[in-house]
Amino acid sequence: MARPSGSAPANKLIDMSRRALTLLLAGFLVLALGVVGAFRPVPYVVLSPGPTENTIGEVDKKPVISIKGRETFPTDGALSLVTVAYQGGPAARIDLLTALRGWLDPSVAVVPEETIFAPDRDPKEVEEENTVEMTNSQDSATAAALTELKISYDMVVTVVSTEKGKPAEGKLQKGDVIAAVDGKPAKDVNAVSDAVKAHKPGQSVRFNVTRGKEKFDVTLDTVAGPKGQPLVGVLMQAQYKFPFDVDINVGDVGGPSAGLMFSLGILDKLTPGALTGGKQIAGTGTIQPTGEVGPIGGIAQKMVGAVKSGATIFLTPADNCAEAMKAVPDGLRLVRADTLHDAVQSIDALRTGKGNVPACEAG
């Protein structure tokens, strides 16, 4: 039987239309999946330059550093602390699109969530720890400045809280004073922490504790923390008795990395003449009461923040120098800071044009 004239072309048109529709639907589906996927939460954190505050300046019309009970002197220039802001975390995860934008921006870093938030830690515990670390940092900064100026003070290490399910729970209490660990005096919070870390997980640590008028020993078996380090699950704070009042006001900035700049700001206010000579100086680093400067995280983002604030000189912990050299922005001079005393000498040399100013090396 002969086919009706024109049926073949009509079938071809129908087939082409079906293919076009299929491709269109497939393309739409891919696009829809891509859009949905772009806004799906991902376990990453975006680190970017955070606020910068001049420690010898003001925040909300209030001095960052206020000193009462001791003569203070006028300052000039800037001794700025730098911070890192972050987006993300278990309680407020970023989407894939935000992470992709971060990967394309050289001024920010995108890191796995667990590098900032330990998987087995409650975010509220982390927040409390950051708050205590900032308080410890401020007190250590005051202690370091007074040590540099040879002004005496008293200090004890106290328990802030214990972590649920860890060995210290029920054995140590808020307000307990830790006088010694394994017979060695608790000179500061880090000394206690280091004494615990000197053990292997499962080994015992002996704490000499004062609770009110009672003195006794507490023996705790260490357990492995998130990175395998031994811990007993106690959050500590140094309580100082200074001969005058030092109050530091920086709002909701947390963590210990501003210690060096706090110390310099305190020291500048307690000594005649402007330490900076009017220069715009920024920097970072933890500080020990004895003046040692320790490393910090987010050095690349902090340097960007320093430049944005107008700083031309950046005080850098020695252990961060190699990393900083790889990402130093144009116009920023890196000065290595091993101790508070070294930092003061470097600033003196920069102000006067005399003396040695140690530079960071690539390593």
pLDDT, tens digit, 9 for 90 and up, residues 167-203: 999 999 999 999 999 999 998 888 999 999 999 999 9
Please check the confidence at residue 224 and state whether its pLDDT lies above 90. Answer: yes
- pLDDT of amino acid 19: 57
Tokens of 3: 């086919």
- 152: its two tokens: 């005496």
DSSP symbol at 116: T
* Nearest-5° Cα angle at 74, 68 to 80: 90
Q: What is the per-residue pLDDT for 2?
A: 47
- Tell me what pLDDT residue 33 has: 47
Q: Residue 251 pLDDT more than 80?
A: no
Task: Select the CATH number that applies to the domain covering 154-241 from these four: 2.30.42.10, 3.40.718.10, 3.40.190.10, 1.10.275.10.
Answer: 2.30.42.10
- Amino acid identity of residue 235, one-letter, is L
Pairing of strands 109-112, 44-54: antiparallel
What whole-number distance in Å separates Cα of residue 317 and Cα of residue 348?
Answer: 18
Over the stretch 48-73, which tens digit does the pLDDT of each residue have?
899 899 999 998 889 999 999 999 99
CA atoms of 109 and 107, how far apart (whole Å): 7
Calculate the average pLDDT of the chain.
86
What's the N-to-C CA distance of the chain in angstroms? 89
Pick the residue with more confidence: 19 or 212? 212
Sorting pLDDT into bands at 50, 70 and 90, what band is 349?
very high
What gap in Å lies between CA 192 and CA 179, rounded to an integer?
9
Q: How many CB atoms lie within 10 A of CB 302?
A: 26
Q: How confident is the model at residue 1 (pLDDT cuts 50, 70, 90)?
A: very low
As a whole number of angstroms, the distance between CA 263 and CA 302 comes to 18
Angle between helices 259-270 and 123-148 (to 10 degrees): 30
Place of tokens 């005058």: 244
| pLDDT tens string 267-279 | 999 999 999 999 9
Beta pairing, strands 65-68 & 245-248: antiparallel
Whether the per-residue pLDDT at 217 is higher than 60: the answer is: yes
Q: CA triplet 128, 131, 136: central angle to 5 degrees?
A: 125
Backbone dihedral angles phi then psi of residue 302, each to the nearest 5 degrees: -70, -35
What does the pLDDT average to over 7-14?
A: 56
Torsion angles phi and psi, residue 17, rounded to 5: -65, -40
Distance from C-alpha of 347 to C-alpha of 280, rounded to nearest angstrom: 11
Domain edges within the chain: 20-124+142-149+245-363, 154-241
pLDDT at 9: 59
Whole-angstrom distance, CA of residue 333 vs CA of residue 312: 6
- The token pair at 119 is 């998987």
Q: CA 51, CA 317: separation in Å to the nearest integer?
A: 20
41/57 Cα distance (integer angstroms): 40
Catalytically annotated residues: 257, 302
